[in-house]
Structure 1
């Protein structure tokens, strides 16, 4: 195997790792936002965790945050606007990334 082939394989492995970490961070972010929304809905304990999991699952519908925002806006009604939901998603992403990195290392 040539040096070029080794570099290519290393690059591909790093890319795959980075994509996996980003996917996990996004799922964690969705879970954190789901827990926030569950609190607004008056849910706690396993009910809150089940709701947060439903938010994570909702993100598998389409690319981007629009599916999450639609679900949460529908569930929360007047408790939170779409802008508040989008702000919460942006707020939680750094925390989610930090949590995933701390678990990986």
Structure 2
């Protein structure tokens, strides 16, 4: 194996690790959001998680924001957009810390 082969293999491994980390962070963030929503709405956590994951895959983060705005709208909360955006940022930061701690970074 040449030095170029080794570098290529290392670059591929780093890429895979970055993708896996990003996936784990997003999955953890989604779980935290689902827990918050389920508590807020008095719903099942797993069902909330399924809905968030489905929305994330089909419409991305903006889709999650709109879905959660709709769900919270039932409660009559004003400024739901800012509240949800704040929670999404907080839970993303929490997820990054948790995932990095679990992989020792």
Counterpart residue number, 2:62: 66
Counterpart residue number, 2:5: 5
After TM superposition, where is structure 1 displaced by more than 3 Å over at least 4 residues in a row?
A: 101-105
1:71 CA displacement: 0.9
8 Å contact from structure 1 (residues 72, 85) kept in 2:
yes
Which structure 1 residue ranges, 5 or more long, are not aligned? none
1:36 CA displacement: 0.7
1:70-89 to structure 2, matched below 5 A, reads 70-77=66-73, 78-79=76-77, 81-89=80-88
1:100 CA displacement: 2.5
CA RMSD of aligned residues (A): 1.7
Counterpart residue number, 2:20: 20
TM-score (norm 2): 0.82
User: How many corresponding residue pairs?
Assistant: 101
TM-score (norm 1): 0.82
